Amino acid sequence: MSAIPSTGQLVILRNRPARVTDVQAHSGDRGVYHAVEVRYCDGWFYPETESIIWELEPRKQIQSSLSLPELDKPSLAHNHSDIFDAYLHTLRWTSHSSLLNFYFIFFK
């Protein structure tokens, strides 16, 4: 038996990402089925929402829960302080130079 999604989880249904908005369990002669309401989040508006029976849906996937990045990865290592200082200097210079351009254009 596959895992049942919970409200708020991201799932992939019919090759489209969707957010689960409601899950309701229904018992019948053949066991428990889950009616899952989803809202697609891929920018296509038809259909925007859908109600499906989770156990009957082919090729369904529950995406892993969102979490914070692992900070011990080399790609996320901290910058050296001189690189950060250079970034701040560039940011200040850019904001000041645009202000100077404004004064030269309008107060000439």
Which single residue is written with the structure tokens 């409200």? Answer: 7
pTM: 0.56
Tokens read off for 91:
């940011």
Number of C-alpha atoms within 13 angstroms, CB side, residue 91?
6
**How does pLDDT run along the chain (108 residues), one tens digit per residue?**
568 998 988 999 988 999 999 999 999 888 899 999 999 988 777 889 999 999 999 999 998 665 555 666 666 666 678 888 888 888 777 766 666 565 556 555
Which string of DSSP letters, residue by residue, matches 35-70? Answer: EEEEEE-SS--TTSEEEEEGGG-TT-EEPPPP-PPP
Copy the structure tokens of residue 88.
């701040």
Q: Which residue has the tokens 């259909």?
A: 47
Are 21 and 39 a contacting pair, CB within 8 Å?
yes
